[in-house]
Amino acid sequence: MTERERVEASTGWGVLHLFYWAPARPDDEPGGAKRVLDALATFTSEEPHQVVTFATLGHKADLGIMAVGPDLARLQALQHDLSATPLRPAWSYLSLTETSEYAMTEDDERRRLADEEQITDAATVEERLTAWRERITHYREQRVHPRLPQKRSICFYPMSKRRTGDDNWYALDFDARKQLMAGHARVGRTYAGRVVQLITGSTGLDDWEWGVTLFADDPGALKEIVYEMRFDEVSARYAEFGPFLTGLVLDPAEALRRVGLES
């Protein structure tokens, strides 16, 4: 693929969730698994393009492929290459990585230290802010340029904010929305180390406004974080959720074997 053919967003990487049905008679598709593996290998041959493959649970699809990278033309080429394999498309979702417009600023953290922890000593405040700057830099980098984790389970769902009656998220002013999101984020932080969250934007790109991908070694943690967050006002009052697809993260060859395609 030449440089002239690349299609890159001004900010963020492309994220393509692809879901497939395995062939009903895999024995009729000799070499089918190899074609899939070759397509994935071609996509990931150029850094920092990455894929995660997973065998899904339930009957919404058999196989999931999450592909991430800066070049949307490369994502489309992967989609095209997979269409020439025995896999049959079940569903897909497109989004872009992004930072949150409600992310805490240094002034926000300074106020939090004073209000919540009663820390006002200048030297201690600066020490805490130095550590905060390092964490927030890493967090923002991971949001925009993620390295996909190899956890054992994955859950993906799209979501939007409501725009009806008194529950119109977009009728709230920015400060009110930021305050609500700060509370929502506090819940998410309690799952640090147990759940890796990747929130990607899809407004204008697909049917919902965001895609949410959760990774965890403990599948129960996927259930717990979504359940707890639904009691937060951001979800309870303002959120609409699309379908949930959950799977077991596996090496590509093993994922294909699990759905009946073997190389």
Contact 21, 260 (CB under 8 A): no
List phi, psi (to 5°) of 142. Answer: -65, -30
Residue of 20, 93, 157, 191 marked catalytic: 157
For domain 3-98+250-258, give the fold.
Answer: Alpha-Beta Plaits (3.30.70)
Q: What is the 3-state secondary structure (H, E, C) of 81-134?
A: HHHCCCCEEEEEEEEEECCCCCCCCHHHHHHHHHHHHCCCCHHHHHHHHHHHHH
The pTM for the full model equals 0.91
Residue 84 tokens read as 């020439």
List phi, psi (to 5°) of 99. Answer: -90, 160
The pLDDT confidence band at residue 4, using thresholds 50, 70 and 90, is low
The gap from C-alpha 8 to its chain's centroid, in whole angstroms, comes to: 18
| Position 263 pLDDT exceeds 70 | no
Contact 66, 154 (CB under 8 A): yes
The residue ranking higher by pLDDT, 4 or 192, is 192
CA pair distance 22, 154, nearest whole angstrom: 19
List the one residue out of 145, 164, 49 whose CA is nearest residue 97. Answer: 145
CA pair distance 9, 230, nearest whole angstrom: 32
Contact 82, 36 (CB under 8 A): yes
Q: What is the 3-state secondary structure (H, E, C) of 33-66?
A: HHHHHHHHHHHHCCCCCEEEEEEEECCCCCEEEE
CA dihedral 248, 254, 257, 262 (to 10 degrees): 160
Contact 67, 78 (CB under 8 A): yes
Instruction: Give 171's DSSP letter.
Output: G
Structure confidence by residue, pLDDT tens digits, 151-198: 999 999 999 999 999 999 999 999 999 999 988 888 888 999 999 999
Contact 90, 20 (CB under 8 A): yes
Q: Please give the pLDDT value at position 1.
A: 47
Structure confidence by residue, pLDDT tens digits, 74-120: 999 999 999 999 999 999 999 999 999 988 888 888 888 998 899 99
CA pair distance 66, 8, nearest whole angstrom: 18
157 has catalytic annotation: yes
Domain spans of the chain, in order of start: 3-98+250-258
CA pair distance 166, 238, nearest whole angstrom: 10
